[in-house]
Amino acid sequence: MRVLVTGGAGFIGSHIVTALEERGHEPVVYDIHDDPACDVRDAAAVGRALAGVDAVCHQAAMVGLGTGFADAPEYVSRNDLGTAVLLTAMADAGVRRLVLAGSMVVYGEGRYTCARHGVVRPGPRAVADLDAGRFEPRCPECGAELSPGLVAEDAPVDPRNVYATTKLAQEHLAAAWARVTDGEAVSLRYHNVYGPGMPRNTPYAGVASFFRSALARGEAPRVFEDGCQRRDFVHVRDVAAANLAALEAGSPTGALVAYNTGSGDPHTVGEMAHALAAAYGGPEPVVTGEYRLGDVRHITADSSRLRAESGWKAEVGFEDGMREFARAE
């Protein structure tokens, strides 16, 4: 299979390229950082890149929460306009198979249960609560403590920042493309991806990268809130394998199918910081109580659907993965 990988020189994309090569496929790398002419917003360039292609892995995106709402036009341009241009070119070229880099951020907060009211959806956390160190969402009905759980793909979407909104828009565009072209579209809703090749020292990098960069400078990782926020940290090689599984398994035509893509082994941000520090040899993390508006408290995945329908499963354990990542280039 000849596969165009947008963002193929980037963190996740480069691992997908390697996985494709190892399975005997032919990846075609399309990445603006590799070649300034390779912009997914350039219809002519995308059209040329699609020549002879059987499928597309669309990884190119502006990622992370960014530095404020001033980034909104750039996020929308790179993520949503770029996806629209790519899908239009795919329709023209007769390419009918797409795997999209989705994100768990489309859900907003994770799944919560109230002992009295069952499954509830707390609203965005109030600044006054965050300033006072009250980080846990409360039941919107009675104000009681909530128990976090795993989010399934049928959970309502509730994007709570610009990046999340653009990732959901990408899915809607892909769904519309699939309906019009009778194409196959899969969105892999990545959870917190980490591993070798992760970007450093950028406001758009993930928390694992921030912690490792601090350790490399001899500084203690700074853990926001109280460090108890739950995430699903999934290794980049497992994410690359999920893309390969989605490509090879195929999907129903005329619709978009979304799959959570996580390790299935949730940990807190504090646990991740301690694991990295231990693997690196210190210093120990510092819990700061700081917060970022737009961050959610707990978001962890139920990835059983992807395992059941494609045979994929995460292979890299948390401790092993963090040890490797601590010393990765």
Give per-residue pLDDT as tens, 291-318.
988 788 999 989 999 999 999 999 999 9
Give the integer Cα–Cα distance in Å for 138 and 225: 16
At 43, give phi and psi (nearest 5°). Answer: -60, -40
pLDDT for 203 equals 66
Other Cβ atoms less than 10 A from the Cβ of 327: the count is 12
Q: Would you give per-residue pLDDT tens digits along the chain (329 residues)? A: 999 999 999 999 999 999 999 999 999 999 999 899 999 999 999 999 999 999 999 999 998 866 678 899 999 999 999 999 999 999 999 999 999 999 999 999 999 999 999 999 998 899 999 999 999 999 999 999 999 999 999 999 999 889 999 999 999 999 999 999 999 999 999 999 999 999 887 766 789 999 999 999 999 999 999 999 999 999 999 999 999 999 999 899 999 999 999 999 999 999 999 999 999 998 999 999 999 887 889 999 899 999 999 999 999 999 999 999 998 87
φ and ψ of 258, to 5 deg: -105, 140
What whole-number distance in Å separates Cα of residue 128 and Cα of residue 115?
25
pLDDT score, position 179: 98
The set of catalytic residues is 163
| SS3 readout for 222-288 | EECCCCCCEECEEEHHHHHHHHHHHHHHCCCCCEEEEEEECCCCCEEHHHHHHHHHHHHCCCCCEEC
What's the predicted TM-score (pTM) here?
A: 0.94
Closest CA to 240 of 58, 56, 14: 14
Q: What are phi and psi of 119, to 5 degrees?
A: -70, 125
Q: Which domains does the chain have, with CATH numbers?
A: 2-111+149-327 (3.40.50.720)
